[in-house]
Each structure stands twice: as C-alpha cells, then as structure tokens.
Structure 1
Amino acid sequence: MTIIAYTARTIRTMNPAQPIGQCVAVREGRVLGVGPLEEIERHGEVRVDDRYADKVLVPGFVEGHSHALEGSIWDHLYLGYFDKRDPDGKPWQGVRSPEAVQRRLAEHIHDGSSNEPLIAWGFDPVYFDGERIDKRHLDAVSDQRPIVIMHASLHVMTVNSAVIRLVGLNDMDLEGIMRGTNGQPNGELQELPAMHLVFDALGFDIFDGASSTRALVRYARAARREGITTITDLLNPMHEAAIEAMHTATAQADFPVRLVPALNALAWEPHTGSEIVREARRHNHERLHFGLVKLVTDGAIQNFTARLQWPGYLTGPVNGVWNAPPQTFHDMVQHYHQAGLHLHVHTNGDEAIAVILDALDEALAMWPRPDHRHTLQHVQLIRQDQLKRVARLGACLNIFANHIYYWGDIHLTKTLGFDRCQRLEPTASADRLGIPFGIHCDAPVTPLSPLFTAWCATTRQTAGGSVLGETEKISRARALEAITLGAAYTLRLDDRVGSLEPGKWADITVLDEDPLDSDTPLKDIRVHDTVLSGRPTGEE
C-alpha cells in the first residue's frame, strides 16, 4: 500500500524517544514513522504530500472531558455571561446584568408554541451583584409560559411559576428545591435529582439532546475546528436510541473525530449499567470506543453546590448538594471496580474527593487491579494530602484548567477566598507527584479549545487579569502533553492516540505556529487542519 509522507516545518511527536522531526509517514491509516525522508523511503514507495510544509504538526488533540450536549444545546437560547460562538461559528453576545437576561428572554418569549417551555442555558448569576435572580424575575417576562434556564455549570436551573405549578414543587420535599423566606420554592433547583423533576414533568431531558445523529455530527465538526481528533461524551445515557445514534454518526465516512462515551452511572442500577457497557464494548470500532463509566458526586463551586470540607464557603450557604447519598457513590465504586470497568468520577469539592478516595482505597484493598486508571474529574479543590493518596492509589486526574479563567475571580471574592484559590486546579503539584493527568474544557460549560485550556494551565490567569497559584503553573511542553498523550492515558487510549509514533493511528493537528517555540500565546495559535487516520479532514 502507498506510503504518504507529510512534510512540515516542525513535528512535535510527544514521543520521548523521537520528540521532533520534519516528516511523518502514514500507511494504512497508521503512523509508519517520523524521520528524514530518505529513511522513510526504506519502507517502500513514498508519495510526498507537502501541503503542510510550512506548518507545525502535533498529535491530534484529545479532549478528555466534554459533552456531546455541545451539539444540541445551541438549539436553545444562550444566556451566558461570556461571549461565545456556536458549533456553526455564529457569535453570541454575553448577557451581563439581570435586566439584560430579562430582555433576551422577552425577545424570545413568543418563539415557538406557547404550550412548550422556553429553554435557555449558560446562565451565570454568580456574576451579578445584589439579589439573586429567581422565579420573580422570570415571572416578570411570563408567568404563563414555562421558562427553564440552565445555569452555565449544568448543575442548577432556575424556573418560573408556570413550571413550579406544572411540576407541583410546592408539595415536594427534596434537597435541591430551594425556598424563599416564605418557605415556598423560589424557582432555583440544585443538582440532578431536583432538576429531573422538571425534565420528567415537561417530557424532555436537555442532557438527552445529544442522542441524535445531527447533534453528534455538529459536535464532531466543532471539535475538529479546534484541532481535536479524539473527544468524549462524558455523561451519555447509553439507552438504545443513544447507542444507535452514536453508531450511525461514527459510521459516516466523513465523521472527523473518534468518540469516547461514558455511561451515566446514576441513570442505571449498577448491574444493569455494567451489562450495558460490556455489551456496547463488543461493537467498538476505530471511531467509537465504549468502556467508560461516569459518576457525578457533587456540584459546582460557583453554584455553591460542590461539597467542601471545613471551612466551607466564603459567602453563601455552608455547604453544597450531593447528587446521591455518599454511600451510593461508595457502593457504585465497589461494583464498577469489581466489574473491571473504567470509572471517571466528577469530584469538585474536597469533601467529594475524600468520599471517592475512601471508596477507591477500599475497592483496591478488596480487589487489587494494577493499571486500573480510574480518573477523578475536575478536582478543582483537591488538597495536597489527597493528591498523595491519588498517587498511592494509582489513579489519574483530569483537571478543569479553564475554570480558573472563567470563575477564578468569583472564587477569590465570593466562594473560597485567597488561600484556597492558590490550589485550584493544581496541575504542577500533580506533575511533581508523578500523577498521570489531562486537562479539559467540559464543553459546553466552557468552549471547546484545547489550546485555550493549555494557555489556562500555563498562565493561571483569570478573566479579570489576576494570577491564582503561581506555583501551580506548568510549562508549555507539559500542557501540550496534557492535551494529547496525558488525556489519552486517562481514557486508556494511549496505545492508539496521543503521540506520533509507529503503530498508532495517524491523527494529527496542523498548527500555524510551533506551540513550544513561539511567543504567541497558546490560545491565539491558529488550528489550520486536522488529519484523522492519515486523511486530512478538510477533504470531506
């Protein structure tokens, strides 16, 4: 079979035995080798492709924590604080005051049928001073048409009185249904059990929007534009329709990424969930890889729903909200570990991290599993002693580096205070302890862009220009590894992606500048193209 040799100004391989080159050879969709052209020609007839001769090639970016919801959530109204672009490249201006939120809702209140809910997302009330937006503000737009607003973290929603009546929230007693001074629901619902009351009553689940081929294709194309060749859907319902949609989408010849979904563990009884994953793994192929299980413990710090150890929150409530009793998480860790499956666990607050580390400690004592690679996700407030436990247990981390930029200023003044902000997203400490880690964006919570994520990890700069945790900065080289080989390791795919070395899939990101030898901020380096299995995706 013909060998294609892509020449470039520089190739950064992430292979320590061959870290740099000017030519990468591809055969049968895999990397044949990196080296001088004359050495490549020893393998046989070579067709030189110099379309990237003035570019820089790096391994295809691996986004280890994001959601296919990015492909469907833009069907709803954007109410976020920051400016964003949707998967089709359309710009959306952020809304930066309660009045602006009401105006945008009013502009769209008559869109669609009056019997259907008006759904919006991206809302971030923690940025607004003064009284927190609740049902009264939404009722001023309409108290007849149901209005549902998802917060940016996707861990909280705010609804109007029409939804409260429809769901019957007045008569329910459940943690997460927030109440005013009069004891009545104020319209804010915190965490999944409370939010699912609304989804069930209205006959839709916003998290299920990605269970369609259209959403998955939009998601994949948005990822490709940012240089991503392997992407996750880290909370997939994995019911029949979702699995069928993923098979259909990834079977398309021009699907430009590899998709790695994770079962939403809280949606299934554990024995059923593990059987679903085992059965799905039988149908894995090059662009679809089942095998992960996702467990969501606590919420988000900026929503005051993450579970924190003493001294709790700087302002606001004493502590956050569990998505299930801690014993449930303990039992699920035991089950899925014993079943030989790969756990990825959402843990934001240090109390949530402690619960999961205790569960892992016990599971590994009872059922030792070398190289299990269970991964704690986000770990925004992980302590130094907890990092040492992670290292001892052989676990991995996937660190939400973007969080410092988007909410660092809020954590400094409202949620955590100065000292704990210095340890947010402690990538350098993880590195010093030899813990395998990736960094991620959690799209649609923050935008897809591994280079922006890498910039966040190297600068630790907030949107307001402050630097939080100078000693937790990592180098450009380490950040580049975290969005390639590091993330691939946490997904147990580092034998196939994450570096350019013989035998791995020829997945390549093409950049205008060298991320390791340029004065341009990483976030401003342009992605020129991606290559999947040796084929430029721009050829679709």
Structure 2
Amino acid sequence: MQVYRAQLIRTLDAARPTATHVAVHDGVIVAVGDAGDMPADAPVDDTFAEHVLVPGFVEGHAHSQVGALWNSCYCGRFSRVGPDGTEWDDLPTIDESMARMRAWADANPDVDVVFGWGFDPIYFGRSCVRADLDTVSTTRPVVLAHASLHIVSVNTVALERLGMIDSPPATDAVPLGDDGLPTGELRGPEAAYPSIARLGLMRKVFPTDDEAFIAVARLAVLAGVTTLTDLGIPYEAKQLDRYYDLTSRPDWPVRLVPMYLSDGRAATELVATAASVGATSTDLLRLGGVKIVVDGSIQGFTARLRAGRYHNGKPNGLWYQTPEHVRDVLALALTEGRHVHLHTNGDQASEMVLSTLEELVAAHPGSRVNVTLQHAQLLDDGLMARAAALGVKVNLFVNHIFYWGEAHAAMTVGEERAAQMNGCATALRHGLTLAIHSDEPVTPVNPLFSMWCATNRCTHTGRVLGAEECISAADALRAVTIGPATTLGLEHEVGSIEVGKRADFAVLSAAPLTVDPAELRSIEVWGTVSGGRPFPAHG
C-alpha cells in the first residue's frame, strides 16, 4: 500500500473531480480523496507534493516506428527533441535538409544506405527529387521519408538499385519527370514500403531491437503518456516477442496497444489472426484490434476528397485499401464486436466507411459497432451526425492545425474547409466520443501540445484558424485521457483516477485546467506513475 500526496489531483471522476491524495495497492487505485480518506497507517509519499496529478495520458494514435527512426537523420521543417533529450534544429529549406543529410552521411561512412525522415514538401512548394538527393551522395543510395511516412524520395543510385531507371513501373505511385524517368518520389505504400524493404531499410523504419523499443517508451514518459498505441503493425512473431519480453520487465513504463495492420489479405484471415494474437494480451500489452489505412495524407495530396481534386488543382488522392476490403473486414468484425480503427484523412474516405457501416447495420440490426475513425480530418457537420448515429468514435489529428493549417488553407482544401478541419467542437456537439492525437512520428507525441492545439487552434504563424472549433481545456483533457481510452476499449481501466482503475498518472508542474490555455504546451512533465510505479522523465 502506498499513498501519494499531490498539490492537486484532477481525477476526471464526476463524483469527485479533485483530490489531494490517492492510495495504490498492487498497481490499482484503492482510495481517492483527502488525507482523511486514506487507509490508516499507509505510508505517504510526498514526492509529488508540489506537483499536479492527472490521469496518465493515453496516446490513441502513434507508431513505434519512431524508435527506429531516431537512429537516422531527422530532416523535419520544425525543431524536435529526440528520446535522449537532444534538440534537432528546424530546417526551413530543402538545401538545409540536404546539407544535414550530407553531414550525417559523412559522419556515417560505413552505412550502406543514407536514410533521413521527417521531410515535408508542402512547406517548400515542391517535393524533394532525385537531383536533390544526388547532392547527398552519388555512390550510395539515399532515401528520405516524408513526414506522413506514406511517401519517400530517393536518389538516382537508389532508383538504379531498385531497377526503376531502366524500367520505370507504369503506376501513378512512381511519377515520371519530363525526361520520362522517375522523379525519385515513391508515393503510397505500394511503392514506398516494398522499395524500403528491397533497400534493406526495414530496421530503420520498424523497430527490431531493444534500443528502438526503449526509445519509444522513453518518449512516452517524457510526454506523460502511460498508454500508447502502436497503430498498425504486421503482428510478426519477432516483433511480438520483443513486446512480450519488454513489457514483462519490472522497469517497463508504458502500456502498449499494438493493432494488426491490414495488408489487404482476406478478412477471415485478418480477423482470425487478430483474435488469436489478442488472446495473448497482458496488462501492459493489449493486442487484438484491427487497423485499416483507407487513404493517404492531405498534406501529401494522397487523401481521398469528395471534391474530386485539391484546392490547388492537384488530382484526387489514393485508395490504400479497396472499399470492398473495408466492407469485408467491417462485416466480419461487427459480428463479434472487434475493434476496428480506420485511417480516413479525406472526407470521401470517411464517407465511404460510414456508408458501408450504415448498410451493414441496417442489414444486421443490433450489431456491435466498435469502430474509430482515425484522423478523420475533414468530417463536416453532416458526417459527424452520421458517425454519432452509428456510435462511431473519432480520434482527430488536431496537431495538423499548427503544423499544416496554413498549407491546408492555401493549397489543399482552402480557407473555409481548413477552418473546419479537425472540428473538435462539432464532434462534442454531436455527442461523439472524442480523442486527439499526435500520430508520432508524423508529429511529436505530446498530449499537452495536442490540448493546446485543440483549445487555441493556432497555426505555426500564430493566427487562429477556425476559432469556432476551439474547445475548453477540460474537454481537451478528456480528449487525451478517457476519450482515447474509450476508443481502445480500456475506459474501465484507465483514463480517469478512480477506485478500481490502474494507478496511471501524468505528473505535471501546473494544473492544465487553471493555467491560461495559451500556456498549456509550456507545462512541464515530471514524468509518470504507471501501475503505481514512478518513472521520472529526467534522471
């Protein structure tokens, strides 16, 4: 038995919203209240006496890829802090990105393939093409993953090794230049990931060793996260074995929720595998959910839009899985209530999923709809209403407002649609279960930053984009705790500080519901308490 005393405990329990003490036994909360409510003679730990406890943050959309990526060269437009605390400066131009990759290549002469990540062409008016990457090396393959991780750019040596110079594939996923040769951009999973595999880069993109997985856990603690999704992995034996081993260690700090990524295989096989692997779940490793990537990214111009084209005239995006496959998986999952998470950035993709669900539910009344639309950035009022009627949950990518809001207004969907994107206020008005997320490594995992985005909706220029969609700090806190816990089917275990739930807390320097909302992203994270065990972010 252990009692933790804090300056303030924000519980998210309507019956007792605040407290100063919480008692923990065997990783479970046994009492919440003031000093007089605690079990007699239980020792009191004052480590957090000057701190604020909130429910451990639940990151409902992230990817363990980030642990592997940090072993390579970060080339993002914005500065970023790695798992070791090192801050990488921002890169405002393509030339500066190439210079960093050259420096990294020079510092790693024995690396066969030079690999960078985090690049986003939307800030520069053009993509990174093979001529750019040829300035990094003309003797080694050079690969630069875009921020969405749906697209990569490669140099001439890489294209030669892939056999694409002599025989360019006849697909829109490998665009050709005026010279009839590939530009070096490989768009979408059908082109990007097979190429990554053939170049021997899978270890750079997907974690396979303890160091990469531990980096993921470290990032979670730094952000106050105690439950973290790995939203879409192949459920390969080697990776699962690492998860089983690491999460069983006494010093492992975060609950992982890896979901089975659909590769288009038969729905019966997909769901059966998810079910059999799910049966091996433990407290800190929750398995069995299914993830389908329906379309691409809006900033990559690969999301599916109902308008049929983008604001700047670019053609419509890509279907990453066919509507027929989506229907088959949903039909089977509904019969057993299995959780299915669908990546639908564009409104056409979201509408397709909702229409499919409406037809399936009409044909099978009483079906259990455990479906979450992930990203769902262009859900308008009508689509939100349809989602609410079905009981569909939404996890909105509100960080986009800061990172890409200006680009969306100018290039992808126009000012009016950009102001409505990731409409948290509209979602709450319709009574939808709402979560918000980072999509780490697309943007850094940082629930306090996501709260700041949802309450302020400031772009990187400082202007407010869609003030009517701002939500309160209280609603934003729910959207990074009990909201995502509900999307994962864990709301009875985590997401609030209540008797009987897991003793998972984020330890903060200030109370997120009393500071100025503009200061939410500046709140410092001491670390976490996971299952009653403290994990400091530093030290």
Q: TM-score range by the shorter chain?
A: over 0.9
Note closer, same or farther for the CA distance 1:504–1:138 as it changes in structure 2 (3 Å cut). Answer: same
1:232 aligned to which of 226, 229, 234: 229
Q: Hey, what does 1:34 align to over in structure 2? A: 32
* Matched ranges for 1:331-410 at <5 A: 331-368=328-365, 372-410=369-407
| 1:521 counterpart SS class | helix
Give the stretch that moved more between structures: 323-332 or 184-193: 323-332
Name structure 2 gaps, 5 residues minimum. none
In the alignment, structure 1 residue 474 sits paired with structure 2 residue 468: no
CA displacement at 1:208 relative to structure 2 = 5.4
CA displacement at 1:32 relative to structure 2 = 1.0
CA displacement at 1:109 relative to structure 2 = 3.1
Q: Hey, what does 1:517 align to over in structure 2? A: 514
Measured in 1, the distance between the counterparts of 2:238 and 2:221 equals: 25
Q: Hey, what does 1:141 align to over in structure 2? A: 136
Note closer, same or farther for the CA distance 1:140–1:35 as it changes in structure 2 (3 Å cut). Answer: closer
| 2:77 counterpart SS class | coil
Task: Provide Cα deviations, 1:502-524, integer angstroms capped at 9, x if missing partner.
Answer: 10001111111111112361100
| 2:489 counterpart SS class | coil
Amino acid corresponding to residue 426 of structure 2 in structure 1: S
Q: Hey, what does 1:24 align to over in structure 2? A: 22
Q: Hey, what does 1:56 align to over in structure 2? A: 52
Amino acid corresponding to residue 75 of structure 1 in structure 2: N
In the alignment, structure 1 residue 175 sits paired with structure 2 residue 172: yes
Q: Hey, what does 1:161 align to over in structure 2? A: 156
Amino acid corresponding to residue 41 of structure 2 in structure 1: E
CA displacement at 1:56 relative to structure 2 = 1.1
CA displacement at 1:311 relative to structure 2 = 5.7
Give the stretch that moved more between structures: 236-245 or 179-188: 179-188
Measured in 2, the distance between the counterparts of 1:213 and 1:248 equals: 10
* Matched ranges for 1:493-504 at <5 A: 493-504=490-501
Name structure 1 gaps, 5 residues minimum. none
Measured in 2, the distance between the counterparts of 1:142 and 1:529 equals: 41
| 1:474 counterpart SS class | coil
Note closer, same or farther for the CA distance 1:203–1:366 as it changes in structure 2 (3 Å cut). Answer: farther
| 1:10 counterpart SS class | strand
Measured in 2, the distance between the counterparts of 1:372 and 1:123 equals: 37
Measured in 1, the distance between the counterparts of 2:415 and 2:323 equals: 29
Q: Hey, what does 2:76 align to over in structure 1? A: 80
| 1:109 counterpart SS class | helix
Q: Hey, what does 2:100 align to over in structure 1? A: 104
CA displacement at 1:36 relative to structure 2 = 2.4
2:183 aligned to which of 182, 186, 189: 186
Q: Hey, what does 1:91 align to over in structure 2? A: 87
- Identity among equivalent pairs (%): 38
Task: Provide Cα deviations, 1:61-100, integer angstroms capped at 9, x if missing partner.
Answer: 1000011112111111111111111111111112211221
The answer to whether the 8 Å contact 1:296/1:323 transfers is: yes
Give the stretch that moved more between structures: 338-347 or 238-247: 338-347
Note closer, same or farther for the CA distance 1:537–1:307 as it changes in structure 2 (3 Å cut). Answer: same
The answer to whether the 8 Å contact 1:208/1:237 transfers is: no
Note closer, same or farther for the CA distance 1:505–1:114 as it changes in structure 2 (3 Å cut). Answer: closer
Note closer, same or farther for the CA distance 1:12–1:370 as it changes in structure 2 (3 Å cut). Answer: farther
CA displacement at 1:491 relative to structure 2 = 0.5
Q: Hey, what does 2:416 align to over in structure 1? A: 419
Task: Provide Cα deviations, 1:248-301, integer angstroms capped at 9, x if missing partner.
Answer: 110111000100001111264433322222222222111111121110011111
Q: Hey, what does 1:256 align to over in structure 2? A: 253
- CA RMSD, aligned part only? 1.9
Measured in 2, the distance between the counterparts of 1:310 and 1:481 equals: 33
Q: TM-score, structure 1 length as denominator?
A: 0.95
CA displacement at 1:471 relative to structure 2 = 0.8
CA displacement at 1:434 relative to structure 2 = 0.3
Measured in 1, the distance between the counterparts of 2:103 and 2:298 equals: 31
Task: Provide Cα deviations, 1:375-428, integer angstroms capped at 9, x if missing partner.
Answer: 000011112111111001101000111111000011111211111011110000
| 1:51 counterpart SS class | coil
Note closer, same or farther for the CA distance 1:30–1:114 as it changes in structure 2 (3 Å cut). Answer: closer
Give the stretch that moved more between structures: 502-511 or 528-537: 528-537
Q: TM-score, structure 2 length as denominator?
A: 0.95
Measured in 2, the distance between the counterparts of 1:268 and 1:206 equals: 24
Note closer, same or farther for the CA distance 1:522–1:185 as it changes in structure 2 (3 Å cut). Answer: same
Q: Hey, what does 1:14 align to over in structure 2? A: 12
Q: Hey, what does 1:438 align to over in structure 2? A: 435
Q: Hey, what does 1:448 align to over in structure 2? A: 445
CA displacement at 1:238 relative to structure 2 = 0.8
Q: Hey, what does 1:197 align to over in structure 2? A: 194
Q: Hey, what does 2:119 align to over in structure 1? A: 123
| 2:425 counterpart SS class | helix
Note closer, same or farther for the CA distance 1:503–1:370 as it changes in structure 2 (3 Å cut). Answer: farther
Note closer, same or farther for the CA distance 1:360–1:506 as it changes in structure 2 (3 Å cut). Answer: same
Amino acid corresponding to residue 83 of structure 1 in structure 2: S
| 2:481 counterpart SS class | helix
2:502 aligned to which of 501, 505, 519: 505
Q: Hey, what does 1:324 align to over in structure 2? A: 321
* Matched ranges for 1:294-333 at <5 A: 294-310=291-307, 312-333=309-330
| 1:119 counterpart SS class | strand
Give the stretch that moved more between structures: 277-286 or 447-456: 277-286
Give the stretch that moved more between structures: 332-341 or 453-462: 332-341
Amino acid corresponding to residue 303 of structure 2 in structure 1: A
CA displacement at 1:310 relative to structure 2 = 1.2
The answer to whether the 8 Å contact 1:505/1:533 transfers is: yes
Aligned length: 535
2:67 aligned to which of 65, 71, 74: 71
Give the stretch that moved more between structures: 87-96 or 211-220: 211-220
Note closer, same or farther for the CA distance 1:115–1:12 as it changes in structure 2 (3 Å cut). Answer: closer
Measured in 2, the distance between the counterparts of 1:442 and 1:262 equals: 14
CA displacement at 1:369 relative to structure 2 = 5.1
CA displacement at 1:326 relative to structure 2 = 2.7
Measured in 2, the distance between the counterparts of 1:18 and 1:251 equals: 33
| 1:21 counterpart SS class | strand
Amino acid corresponding to residue 295 of structure 1 in structure 2: I
Amino acid corresponding to residue 29 of structure 2 in structure 1: V
Task: Provide Cα deviations, 1:93-149, integer angstroms capped at 9, x if missing partner.
Answer: 1221122122222223345467821111001111114x5431122123333311111
The answer to whether the 8 Å contact 1:307/1:321 transfers is: yes
Note closer, same or farther for the CA distance 1:486–1:348 as it changes in structure 2 (3 Å cut). Answer: same
Measured in 2, the distance between the counterparts of 1:208 and 1:80 equals: 16
Measured in 1, the distance between the counterparts of 2:136 and 2:147 equals: 21
Task: Provide Cα deviations, 1:317-336, integer angstroms capped at 9, x if missing partner.
Answer: 22112213332223232233
Amino acid corresponding to residue 201 of structure 1 in structure 2: R
CA displacement at 1:371 relative to structure 2 = 5.1
